[in-house]
């Protein structure tokens, strides 16, 4: 039986890990040397997340095959990665935010259901036309947000000092994501009636439900 009281601790722990990683990433991206652990810190998180997503989407032995192939490629190019630690962090930041932007953006194509509308359909028995319009606008907003983050990251990496780019990419990106949630939450209060408001926790629950449906698993109660 899951205890709902554990959630504050889980959120606090998760937030602490995110902050710790952001600070470490900021300083290691500025290292003048080619430490193995600096490259590992940059490569490991997206590799683990990508492997988890692939297992959820495909399952079986295919994710392990790709993981083995990726490990062999990483071993072959590791010396090059050590000599370009900053570029590795840049590729990580741009790659993750581009993937998130595409994740939201592709759902806006003709004939597809906007991602936030899909989340709303999992949390509500019925999606009204007003809620559908609003959630489409939110999907557009998140797509635009990640596009701006990527464009800013590229511009700063190319034209600003490395310390400025690192501060934006490693220290400001997550707070900006949090600010997006807060602003959207405030905006939602003025656009939707109480029974149609999809809060952050409900969004997370809807996302978990969506991923469980895709992987053929039943989401656990929490």
102 found inside a domain: yes
Instruction: Kindly report, residue by residue over 68-97, the tens digit of the pLDDT.
Output: 888 888 788 788 777 777 888 898 899 889
By residue range, what is the domain housing residue 27?
A: 4-45+84-215
Q: Is residue 220 part of a domain?
A: no
Does pLDDT of 59 surpass 50?
yes
How many Å apart are CA 44 and CA 18, to the nearest integer?
A: 14
**Regarding predicted confidence, which is higher, 35 or 145?**
145
Whether 63 is covered by a domain: the verdict is no
* Cβ–Cβ < 8 Å for 56, 211: yes
pLDDT confidence of residue 43: 77
- The whole-number pLDDT of residue 29 equals 67
Residue 53 lies in a domain: no
The count of structural domains within the chain is 1
Please state the rounded mean pLDDT for residues 8-28. 64
Q: Is the pLDDT of residue 17 over 80?
A: no
Average pLDDT over residues 202-214: 63
Distance CA 118, CA 136 (A): 10
**pLDDT, tens only, 101-153:** 999 999 999 889 998 888 888 777 788 888 889 889 999 999 999 999 999 99
Residue 120 maps to a domain: yes
Q: Would residue 57 count as lying in a domain? A: no
> Residue 222: pLDDT band by 50, 70, 90 thresholds?
very low
Bigger pLDDT: 13 or 145?
A: 145
Is 78 a member of any domain?
no
Of 80 and 169, the one with more pLDDT: 169
Q: How many residues in total does the chain contain?
A: 222
Please report the pLDDT score of residue 160 as a whole number.
Answer: 93
- 59 in any annotated domain: no
User: Where are the extended beta strands (E) located within the chain?
Assistant: none
Cβ-based neighbour number of residue 68 at 10 Å: 10
Q: What percent of the chain has pLDDT over 70?
A: 72
Q: By the 8 A CB rule, do 7 and 208 touch?
A: no
pLDDT recorded at residue 142: 95
């Amino acid at each position: 039986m899951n205890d709902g009281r554990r959630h504050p601790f889980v959120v606090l722990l998760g937030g602490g890990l995110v902050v710790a990683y952001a600070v470490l990433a900021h300083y290691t991206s500025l290292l003048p040397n080619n430490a193995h652990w600096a490259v590992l810190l940059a490569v490991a998180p997206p590799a683990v997340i990508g492997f988890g997503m692939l297992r959820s989407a495909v399952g079986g032995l295919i994710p392990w095959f790709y993981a083995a192939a990726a490990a062999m490629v990483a071993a072959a190019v590791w010396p090059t990665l050590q000599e370009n630690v900053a570029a590795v962090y840049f590729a990580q930041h741009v790659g993750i935010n581009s993937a998130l932007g595409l994740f939201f953006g592709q759902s806006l194509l003709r004939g597809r259901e906007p991602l936030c509308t899909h989340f709303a359909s999992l949390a509500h028995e019925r999606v009204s036309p007003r809620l559908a319009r609003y959630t489409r606008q939110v999907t557009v907003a998140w797509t635009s947000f990640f596009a701006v983050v990527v464009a800013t990251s590229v511009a700063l990496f190319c034209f600003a000092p490395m310390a400025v780019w690192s501060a934006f990419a490693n220290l400001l990106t997550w707070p900006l994501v949090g600010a997006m949630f807060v602003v959207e939450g405030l905006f939602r209060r003025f656009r939707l009636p109480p029974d149609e408001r999809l809060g952050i926790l409900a969004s997370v629950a809807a996302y978990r439900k969506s991923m469980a449906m895709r992987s053929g698993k039943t989401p656990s109660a929490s």
